[in-house]
A and B are shown apart, each in its own frame.
Chain A
């Protein structure tokens, strides 16, 4: 029964996401089935967690579960109708060469392996005590986070102020399984990887015009130890991998929109970027970076108005979460002091050590192999190309790293270097798939810029 419940939960997430994806892409005529499935998972997670959060304010228990399920079905029907009305058809990308077949096979094997390996490990420290704890308490309280959770300072260690995107996805699985099952809930995290790897291949293929390069890069992705073999990776149930996949997706669709001026890509960007702050607090920084890059690019391309509209969902979600925290009388606890010029002047001397620690981390082969030197080489290529779109990709890799590093100037920990070494590896993980996108674009020197996948 538990496994049936698990599949029902996953199915409802995917169909809800399918409904949203179809409402975005139905008019395209030929819909890439792989893209549709990947995006259905990402957007489904967003839709279901948001519905549980909003619905939980009105009802709880079986009624909440029934209403959210019903809305998932309505979304799926809506999407299906949109697809029928547009006479759209699914299309599976046809792999042209033996190389592409082999690379696609490798990606499939890697995804299967990561799903299997995930079940060999327990949830990690943060996975259990920051994220799963919220899902468990909400489950025990009929689907809503009890107000006593927020009022008990003793449970401040679990960061009650963190957003609920992933905890409520876990909650959805618990509601369907009928118990807070810490074994099966881990399926969520490799599924993010399973959605992210094909999307990475797809973005590179579309932006470079070379499908095999996209597949090659996606096949290399799990060889970065931090994603597959280290604390913070896929197997320990942290939200850093999901956040990195949302960031990659938002960046990919932003670039596609800027290249094609196709409003469907802009909507996909709006949806993926809005879910960044809903996944982790640091998502606000990633969202801000994309907004900054998107604004500059849309200004150059004279498309500011639609771009401004595309950031409205993200703004709304950030605002809604702040209001919610205020309602539950919780002000975000922070390991950082409020930034001010005076503090910046006082702590300016930290910068040298901060960038030393950052450099040491980037060179840490046990975590990253030589991924960051590869990414650095790719960034040089991208800047040298003097193409706006490629420079934007380089910016999407560099700016978050710089911003993350600079935040430690305001760290309130007794040892800001200890603060850094404990958190920087996971922060770098957020940008890693975008770094692979940069490598893929640097590798491709093709003049073709067609959409082949």
Chain B
């Protein structure tokens, strides 16, 4: 009985040792990643916008840009379907453009023109293309970093 008791603990401790042996090379490097801070109000959103578009302090600059579109009208955001980065960027635009209404439209890539034609100019203030190429005929594009383009809606209609 005593032997069984010791064996029980030996087996479990061996399993725990194996568990730690496997875990440490995964957990420790992950915990050492990155550095502390920066201690900034919009730390997360700015970090993502900077990484995806190259815009620094995007949480302040983008709402400023959208404010110039006027108070009324929603923002239509085109994102590339099944492209996580593009969709994430579209959601970011949704996040920072509050309280303006947004509509996120997923496009496979080639159907942007058709979707664009469906837009009713009266209700839309601007169109944002996230990792999606705007149609060639669109004028007055405002580049937002290196992966986004804003087109105020009066110019967006064909």
Interface, chain A (partner B; CB < 8 A):
113, 116-117, 119-123, 125, 127-129, 132-133, 136-137, 140, 146, 148, 152-155, 157-158, 179-184, 216, 220, 222-225, 228-230, 365-366, 369-371, 374, 377, 442-443, 445
Task: Please tell me if the beta carbons of A117 and B101 are within 8 angstroms of each other in the complex.
Answer: no
**Bound-state Cα–Cα, A181 to B43, Å:** 8
Task: Please tell me if the beta carbons of B43 and A122 are within 8 angstroms of each other in the complex.
Answer: yes
Residues of A within 8 A of B27 (CB): 222-223, 225, 228-229
Residues of A within 8 A of B8 (CB): 445
Cross-chain contact of A154 among B19, B24, B101 (Cβ < 8 A): B101
| CB closest chain-A residue, reference B27 | A229
Task: Please tell me if the beta carbons of A181 and B19 are within 8 angstroms of each other in the complex.
Answer: no
Q: Closest Cβ of chain B: how far from A355's Cβ, in Å? A: 24
Provide the B21-32 mask, 1 if CB < 8 A to any CB of A, else 0.
011101100110
Task: Please tell me if the beta carbons of B104 and A157 are within 8 angstroms of each other in the complex.
Answer: yes
With A183-B40, A222-B27, A229-B27 known as contacts, the answer to whether A443 contacts B19 (CB < 8 A) is: no
Residues of B within 8 A of A113 (CB): 31
Task: Please tell me if the beta carbons of B74 and A154 are within 8 angstroms of each other in the complex.
Answer: yes
Chain B interface residue count, CB cutoff 8 Å, equals 44
Interface, chain B (partner A; CB < 8 A):
5, 8-9, 12, 15-16, 18-20, 22-24, 26-27, 30-31, 33-45, 47-48, 74, 77, 88, 91-92, 94-95, 98-99, 101-104
Task: Please tell me if the beta carbons of B16 and A229 are within 8 angstroms of each other in the complex.
Answer: no
Residues of B within 8 A of A220 (CB): 16, 19-20
**Bound-state Cα–Cα, A133 to B102, Å:** 15
**Bound-state Cα–Cα, A158 to B95, Å:** 9
Task: Please tell me if the beta carbons of B91 and A157 are within 8 angstroms of each other in the complex.
Answer: yes
| CB closest chain-A residue, reference B105 | A154
Task: Please tell me if the beta carbons of B20 and A116 are within 8 angstroms of each other in the complex.
Answer: no
Q: Closest Cβ of chain B: how far from A418's Cβ, in Å? A: 10
Residues of A within 8 A of B44 (CB): 122-123, 127-128, 132, 182
| CB closest chain-A residue, reference B95 | A133
- A-B Cβ contacts below 8 A, count: 116
Task: Please tell me if the beta carbons of A370 and B18 are within 8 angstroms of each other in the complex.
Answer: yes
Q: Closest Cβ of chain A: how far from B28's Cβ, in Å? A: 8
Task: Please tell me if the beta carbons of B19 and A180 are within 8 angstroms of each other in the complex.
Answer: no
**Bound-state Cα–Cα, A155 to B100, Å:** 11
With A116-B36, A223-B19, A369-B23 known as contacts, the answer to whether A182 contacts B41 (CB < 8 A) is: yes
Task: Please tell me if the beta carbons of B103 and A229 are within 8 angstroms of each other in the complex.
Answer: no
Residues of A within 8 A of B34 (CB): 120-121
Task: Please tell me if the beta carbons of B22 and A128 are within 8 angstroms of each other in the complex.
Answer: no
Closest 8 CB pairs of A and B: A229-B30, A154-B102, A122-B44, A223-B23, A123-B44, A120-B34, A369-B23, A183-B43
Residues of A within 8 A of B45 (CB): 128, 182
Q: A122-B47, A129-B91, A154-B101 are in contact. List 11 more A-B contacts (CB 8 A).
A: A119-B36, A120-B35, A148-B101, A154-B104, A183-B40, A223-B27, A228-B30, A228-B31, A230-B30, A370-B18, A374-B19
| CB closest chain-B residue, reference A146 | B99
Residues of A within 8 A of B101 (CB): 148, 152, 154
Q: Closest Cβ of chain A: how far from B52's Cβ, in Å? A: 12
**Bound-state Cα–Cα, A127 to B43, Å:** 13
26 pairs, CB–CB < 8 Å, chain A vs chain B: A117-B31, A119-B36, A120-B37, A132-B44, A137-B99, A140-B98, A148-B99, A152-B101, A153-B103, A154-B94, A155-B94, A158-B94, A158-B95, A182-B45, A183-B41, A183-B43, A220-B16, A220-B19, A220-B20, A223-B19, A223-B23, A224-B23, A229-B26, A365-B26, A369-B26, A443-B9
**Bound-state Cα–Cα, A230 to B26, Å:** 10
**Bound-state Cα–Cα, A369 to B19, Å:** 6
| CB closest chain-A residue, reference B4 | A445
**Bound-state Cα–Cα, A125 to B18, Å:** 32
Cross-chain contact of A369 among B5, B22, B33, B42 (Cβ < 8 A): B22
Residues of B within 8 A of A154 (CB): 74, 77, 94, 101-104
Residues of A within 8 A of B33 (CB): 120-121
Residues of A within 8 A of B26 (CB): 225, 229, 365-366, 369
Task: Please tell me if the beta carbons of B102 and A225 are within 8 angstroms of each other in the complex.
Answer: no
Residues of A within 8 A of B5 (CB): 445
Q: Closest Cβ of chain A: how far from B138's Cβ, in Å? A: 21
**Bound-state Cα–Cα, A223 to B15, Å:** 13
